[in-house]
Amino acid sequence: MTKYIGILTAGGDSPGLNAAIRGVGKAVVGHYGMHLVGFRDGFRGLMENRTAPLEGGQLSGILTLGGTILGTSRDKPHKMPVGGKIKDMTGVIVENYHAHGLDCLVCLGGGGTQKNALRLKEAGLNIITLPKTIDNDVAMTDITFGFDTALGIATEAVDRLHSTAHSHHRIIVVEIMGHRAGWLALGAGIAGGADVILIPEIPYDVDSVAAAIKRRSRGGKPFSIVAVAEGAISVQEQARQAALENKKVKKAKDADVEEPEIIYADRTIKLAQQLEALTGLEARITILGHLQRGGAPSAADRILSTRLGTAAADLIAEGRYGFMVAARGEATEAVPLEDVAGKVKTVPIDHPWVESARRVETNFGD
Amino acid sequence: MTKYIGILTAGGDSPGLNAAIRGVGKAVVGHYGMHLVGFRDGFRGLMENRTAPLEGGQLSGILTLGGTILGTSRDKPHKMPVGGKIKDMTGVIVENYHAHGLDCLVCLGGGGTQKNALRLKEAGLNIITLPKTIDNDVAMTDITFGFDTALGIATEAVDRLHSTAHSHHRIIVVEIMGHRAGWLALGAGIAGGADVILIPEIPYDVDSVAAAIKRRSRGGKPFSIVAVAEGAISVQEQARQAALENKKVKKAKDADVEEPEIIYADRTIKLAQQLEALTGLEARITILGHLQRGGAPSAADRILSTRLGTAAADLIAEGRYGFMVAARGEATEAVPLEDVAGKVKTVPIDHPWVESARRVETNFGD
Amino acid sequence: MTKYIGILTAGGDSPGLNAAIRGVGKAVVGHYGMHLVGFRDGFRGLMENRTAPLEGGQLSGILTLGGTILGTSRDKPHKMPVGGKIKDMTGVIVENYHAHGLDCLVCLGGGGTQKNALRLKEAGLNIITLPKTIDNDVAMTDITFGFDTALGIATEAVDRLHSTAHSHHRIIVVEIMGHRAGWLALGAGIAGGADVILIPEIPYDVDSVAAAIKRRSRGGKPFSIVAVAEGAISVQEQARQAALENKKVKKAKDADVEEPEIIYADRTIKLAQQLEALTGLEARITILGHLQRGGAPSAADRILSTRLGTAAADLIAEGRYGFMVAARGEATEAVPLEDVAGKVKTVPIDHPWVESARRVETNFGD
Amino acid sequence: MTKYIGILTAGGDSPGLNAAIRGVGKAVVGHYGMHLVGFRDGFRGLMENRTAPLEGGQLSGILTLGGTILGTSRDKPHKMPVGGKIKDMTGVIVENYHAHGLDCLVCLGGGGTQKNALRLKEAGLNIITLPKTIDNDVAMTDITFGFDTALGIATEAVDRLHSTAHSHHRIIVVEIMGHRAGWLALGAGIAGGADVILIPEIPYDVDSVAAAIKRRSRGGKPFSIVAVAEGAISVQEQARQAALENKKVKKAKDADVEEPEIIYADRTIKLAQQLEALTGLEARITILGHLQRGGAPSAADRILSTRLGTAAADLIAEGRYGFMVAARGEATEAVPLEDVAGKVKTVPIDHPWVESARRVETNFGD
């Protein structure tokens, strides 16, 4: 009996989403002869029954396209703004799933989406998810699609800032995405040869950072690049937050808040000002922001998206549901949603990348 | 008799500076058999006698290199911070020029540099300048080097932001360099297909902008890209500034302030907030900042830098001094420094680019 | 009365075609309220009545797209292969033009297209053309769209080949498009810092080339990049061809043959072999081929395509027909088709680019 | 006691070589306080005692640089052309190693280099190697540096060729490096959405290829991209070669011949001609050649090169010699040279990439 499959993209947009939709679609429709329908703007579209056809020519020419042809949103099934109120729309979503006669729903998203997908699984739906995020912080997978492309964009930015730092004898502080995990700042910092890399996992001491910059300056290099992840904090700030958390309900750690659009800029500006004061060098900041999400996926991301997408189709063909398709070396692996949801993959402080960076004289402010 | 030539780069760094240094150098040394010495960090290096050799292998491999191998600064000969005070160091500079036995000093820079160069000419030195700036606002030349590269970078950014605007149904306001002239925002706006372009030369009405965005939204496109030059202002703000200027000495218009590092971000943030309120769509901002200055020059900029550089050498060989080498079509032209200094090339409000943009439905907020 | 406009793309594909279609379309339909229909695959589509709608969403998202959404062909109205024979289909084309009730046909193409367009004008049709070609060899316009993008691609290739030439101490001969005019090889050669540039306009002496490479090698640079245009010939070959032409009807010069897909590779291979023999250095060749045509147009090409496209719409609105829209500085100019057709814009041997290149020690083999 | 380390790069040049030299150098000199000297042009430089200093500023600014600052050659210690004869220079190399007082020699290279390094190990030297090659065919490592960059370049080429294939309704056959292993063609084929991928590991039937192209054409897509690895062969050719090998000593399989500069173009041209004849569609070829080796390494390659380089330094600090530093997930592993030398890592015919490609309707000609 022919299966009917639904697909949606949720959370922040990320390069490779369309390549993954194409991978799922070509395999599901072309290879396995099933039916596929898209839902618009994440879980909201499923709730509102807004569909997008995917069996015509819609999959052609999208392999290289940034963003998502399905649209996306950060709406959660169980806490969805409807008519000015926040409601639990899980029931409506389950209803619509069945009304469409779906055999499986494929959800492409980051950490928050894995949690929402698990909720729908627990509500009885057949779910497969793919791990998408430029932050690379989804648990239980080697890597997420979007990361390699964002890494390339952030690295190119660091390269460009080198010219201006060098020509003007300046400190340039470049803020890179990642509020819980420092993968992107760490990777772009190594690849771009940043002199200082600050990530959430290694609280920094601004005096250590300034000392490292002054050492470089005395050694004849009166310019430095500081790659800072959005979520990087100083040891002082960490202590202050820890004190607060003992008193209050912690808010920032709510894993449902997938990539909130918080302004980290203030913290970055303050860091630049401190470094200027401590080193006597001019400091400038650059905030990469949404640039890191956009544009055509890299070759590596297109391959990753394609193979995760076709592996999702394989699972569906086998009738195996309730899994995230994870990248494991050059192969893929089905990981139960329960093992993924609610977890964040942060950078271990003794990770090989960190160890390697320290050996090429990168400072981590610790 | 063999001539001795000095060269320096002043003002903000810009792609193509090294290509121009190479162009001057290969022609002056290799073709004409003269001598060439670089001065570090703009006029300051000439004042402090800090030189850089350019007759060894230093010109190899720099054609593609961003920034400037000579370093740069915004220091002005007649108002230079020395020992905590602002002093007129013109005399020292003239002295050093003669101490080095120079026959000519080549100055690569933007509008401010042209003025400083004219002052040195008036102090008796033989001067040739080249027009450099990513803003394209130097008078009397078709184009400046650095502009085409920055245009490419800004356009690529607009391209990337399209993905995310489209996927999330958002307004994205992208701030592009240009505080006096809107060339870069206009060019990148056209090339990137921005829906709204705001430049200093055409004061905007935020209600017109919001209306244009709402028209698009009603027509099925609930996302818009707004390309805004740093110096773009609303008609209200313009009126307010005009009122102030009648009372006070105007400061911002002091043409000596070459590309001041003013924070335009506040204005851009406010614009995004207004548009969010007026349209009901989510708005996000991206500030490109120093990214626009960095990295390898484009092919067009390398050709431009090279031909301006070799034309400078031709003038020197002919003993013609006191000129800026301007681009005029595919040829070059020697323009007396008096005709350039103190002028700014802004975008005429009926410029062919503006007219063309209006026909592809771009809104200018007027 | 509302006008009906047709549009087609002919000749080799070129970056910027879609941007130009969009420019014409948005201005003709959105700004002037006329109707627009596309014809597929050049003049053949008009002959066969194969149309493409352009008034729906077809113009969205194509600004950045390479190739042409209309398809293209090299078919000529007066010599079209039909049913295995070459026929004059001008009559059918004129008939179809009237059957569609067209007020004007816009033809986007290179030198050959200008000639074909003139024939249709002489057959009584209202024609406007735009100058498209990566070769930049259309007469009477400052520049053609496609050139800047191809220049960027070819320059990037030269940059990359530098790494390998340098690391292996080799001569690398890179063949760049341009069988009649050397603009692309000249531009990419200057921008990429090629040591030797060979173009059709300056017949070369292989001994001079080898001597230049040996001079570099003796000076400590045992590697060289030779940028050679497809149509570059040696003085010996030129003499041989001239002798032949006195006897026979010349074929290669038939201007109807727009960018024939001739294999120039043999000539390039032979040149590399000669240089290897004469210099004692290893030589390798790279033939860029169709890579130079593809991909997203550069920012400069998108602006150029857009303004030529909207200027075409302006002419149509004024009822002025029979012109090519030429780029003249930052403005446009209507040039009578009679002044363009059959001409080729080659590189003057004393062109400022050539003069500049000689001053940075580039060898032209003469 | 301070150690003295030598380093050289051998075989074809590859992006990431300089990043790896920097990684080794910063760790060896800056982190561990040892001494480092470079040898020029591979094993030849060690034989001729031509050194390059690496303890000054030479490691600055090379992270992003293509090629190798040390130069390279394909010379083998035991079969080196000297004075017109092929000689075994192993003894001289061992002598020079000791004359320089080296404690270890780091060799960066591909499959051939691993074999040569093993020979030097067997001659008593302390050796560490890094796996470099754009072909990704070195055994016992997840990946080699250079591959990701070449993958990006080849994918970009496929993207560009899509425009022209689509616009002209053509078959485009693009030849991608890889004469023994098809990793690069496979990867770029998937990432670029090639319709047919031909690799050495899966002999193809030209009729199957033509049938797949005709199916696409009948389905409304009269254009196809064929990504073909240099070493891809038809089943017929394979049979013919097998017959020959039974009679003769096999030459092409000599693993000492690291990446011979054989002309595969003829085979590719013939394939295009066959497809043209069998499908009735126009076919064109593009041969990427040396373009795939050049230019700045990708972010992923810079990270890989850096961590392999610093891991080499760690081994040296521990006094562990005779290993290749392999990439194993995000960590590294020391693999005995004996386990690597003489092996080629080809694509398993049921590799996850192949399986995934088949599901998105890619044809492998089998």
**What are A84-88's contacts with CB under 8 Å, separation 24+?**
none
Nearest residue, CB atoms, A291 vs list B9, B13, B160: B160
Q: Please list every residue in chain A whose beta carbon sits closer than 8 Å to the beta carbon of residue D330.
A: 142, 351-353
Residue D140 located in a structural domain: yes
Residue C113 located in a structural domain: yes
For A187, name the nearest residue in chain D, comparing CA atoms only.
D303
DSSP bridge partners of C175: C228, C287
Cβ <8 Å between C286 and D284: no
A135 in catalytic set: yes
- Provide the percentage of residues in chain C whose pLDDT is more than 70: 95
Examine the domain organization and report whether A122 and A210 are in the same domain.
no
Nearest residue, CB atoms, B160 vs list A41, A168, A294: A294
Smallest CA-to-CA distance from A200 within A234, A166, A175, A172 is with A234
For the cut 90, the answer to whether the pLDDT of residue A160 exceeds it is: yes
Cβ <8 Å between D299 and A187: yes
pLDDT at residue A209 in the model: 98
- D358 interface with A at CB cutoff 8 Å: yes
Cβ <8 Å between D306 and A23: no
Cβ <8 Å between B332 and C352: yes
Q: How close are the terminal C-alpha atoms of chain A, in Å?
A: 60
C284 to chain B, closest Cα gap in Å: 21
Q: Please list every residue in chain C whose beta carbon sits closer than 8 Å to the beta carbon of residue D156.
A: 295
Examine the domain organization and report whether A284 and A300 are in the same domain.
no
Examine the domain organization and report whether A85 and A111 are in the same domain.
yes
Residue D304 located in a structural domain: yes
pLDDT at residue C32 in the model: 97
Cβ <8 Å between A13 and B167: yes
pLDDT at residue C141 in the model: 98
Q: Is the dihedral of CA C163, C165, C168, C169 positive or negative?
A: negative
- Provide the percentage of residues in chain B whose pLDDT is more than 70: 95
Confirm whether pTM is higher than 0.90. Answer: yes
For the cut 90, the answer to whether the pLDDT of residue A254 exceeds it is: no
Examine the domain organization and report whether A230 and A331 are in the same domain.
no
- Pairing between β-strand C4-9 and β-strand C35-39 as defined by DSSP bridges: parallel
Distance CA C331, CA B199 (A): 20
Examine the domain organization and report whether C154 and C225 are in the same domain.
yes
Examine the domain organization and report whether A355 and A214 are in the same domain.
yes
pLDDT at residue C257 in the model: 43
- Pairing between β-strand A282-287 and β-strand A170-176 as defined by DSSP bridges: parallel
C-alpha distances (whole Å) from A160 to each of A167, A220, B150, B160 are 11, 21, 11, 17
DSSP string, D210-277: HHHHHHHHHTT---EEEEEETT--BHHHHHHHHHHHHHS---TT-TTS-S-----HHHHHHHHHHHHH
pLDDT at residue C260 in the model: 40
> Which C positions 234-263 lie with beta carbon below 8 A of chain D?
261
Residue at B112: amino acid letter: G
Q: Over the stretch D67-117, which tens digit does the pLDDT of each residue have?
A: 999 999 999 999 999 999 999 999 999 999 999 999 999 999 999 999 999
pLDDT at residue B248 in the model: 62
> Which C positions 301-320 lie with beta carbon below 8 A of chain B?
302-303, 306-307, 310-311, 313-314
Q: Over the stretch B245-286, which tens digit does the pLDDT of each residue have?
A: 776 654 544 444 444 444 577 889 899 999 999 999 999 999
Residue C222 located in a structural domain: yes
Examine the domain organization and report whether D163 and D279 are in the same domain.
yes
Cβ within 8 Å of residue C213, ≥6 positions away: C171, C195, C196, C224, C226, C275, C279, C281
CATH of the domain at D203: 3.40.50.460
Examine the domain organization and report whether C85 and C155 are in the same domain.
no
- The ipTM is 0.95
Q: Please list every residue in chain D whose beta carbon sits closer than 8 Å to the beta carbon of residue A134.
A: none
CATH of the domain at A59: 3.40.50.450
Residue B241 located in a structural domain: yes
Segment C239-261 mean pLDDT: 60
For B153, name the nearest residue in chain C, comparing CA atoms only.
C299
Categorize the per-residue pLDDT at B176 as very low, low, confident or very high, splitting at 50, 70 and 90: very high
Query: Rounded to an integer, what is the distance from CA B93 to the centroid of its chain?
Result: 25
Q: Please list every residue in chain B whose beta carbon sits closer than 8 Å to the beta carbon of residue C300.
A: 148, 151-152, 191, 300
Number of domains into which chain C is organized: 2
Query: Which tokens hold the place of D12?
Result: 């074809």
For D26, name the nearest residue in chain A, comparing CA atoms only.
A360
Pick the more confident residue, B265 or C99: C99
Cβ within 8 Å of residue D6, ≥6 positions away: D36, D37, D38, D39, D46, D97, D100, D102, D104, D105, D106
> Which D positions 39-98 lie with beta carbon below 8 A of chain C?
41, 65-68, 71-73
Categorize the per-residue pLDDT at B243 as very low, low, confident or very high, splitting at 50, 70 and 90: confident
Optimal mutation site among C167, C169, C259, C269, interface D, most CBs of chain D within 10 A = C167
Query: Rounded to an integer, what is the distance from CA B365 to the centroid of its chain?
Result: 24
Helix (H) or strand (E) holding D174: strand D170-176
Q: Over the stretch C106-156, which tens digit does the pLDDT of each residue have?
A: 999 999 999 999 999 999 999 999 999 999 999 999 999 999 999 999 999
D183 to chain C, closest Cα gap in Å: 21
Cβ <8 Å between B290 and A72: no
Place of tokens 């022209």: D164
Of these residues, A135, A137, A148, A301, which one is catalytic? A135
pLDDT at residue D257 in the model: 43
Examine the domain organization and report whether D105 and D225 are in the same domain.
no
Residue B80 located in a structural domain: yes
Q: How close are the terminal C-alpha atoms of chain C, in Å?
A: 60
C-alpha distances (whole Å) from A220 to each of B13, B179, C66 are 20, 34, 46
Q: Please list every residue in chain B whose beta carbon sits closer than 8 Å to the beta carbon of residue A293.
A: 160, 163-164
Smallest CA-to-CA distance from B76 within B64, B63, B87 is with B87
Q: Over the stretch B156-165, which tens digit does the pLDDT of each residue have?
A: 999 999 988 9
In the complex, which subunits touch C with 3 or more CB pairs below 8 angstroms?
B, D
Residue D366 located in a structural domain: no
Optimal mutation site among D301, D359, D362, interface A, most CBs of chain A within 10 A = D359
Indicate left, alpha or beta for B124 from its phi (over 0: left) and psi (-120 to 50: alpha).
left
Examine the domain organization and report whether C196 and C252 are in the same domain.
yes
Residue at D288: amino acid letter: L
Helix A147-168 and helix A299-318, axial crossing angle in degrees, nearest 10: 160
Examine the domain organization and report whether D210 and D157 are in the same domain.
yes
Residue at D11: amino acid letter: G
C-alpha distances (whole Å) from C141 to each of C110, C258, C328 are 11, 18, 6
Query: Which tokens hold the place of B84?
Result: 């905590």
For the cut 90, the answer to whether the pLDDT of residue B8 exceeds it is: yes
Residue D364 located in a structural domain: no
**Domain, as residue range, for D305:** 4-145+294-340
Examine the domain organization and report whether A289 and A304 are in the same domain.
no
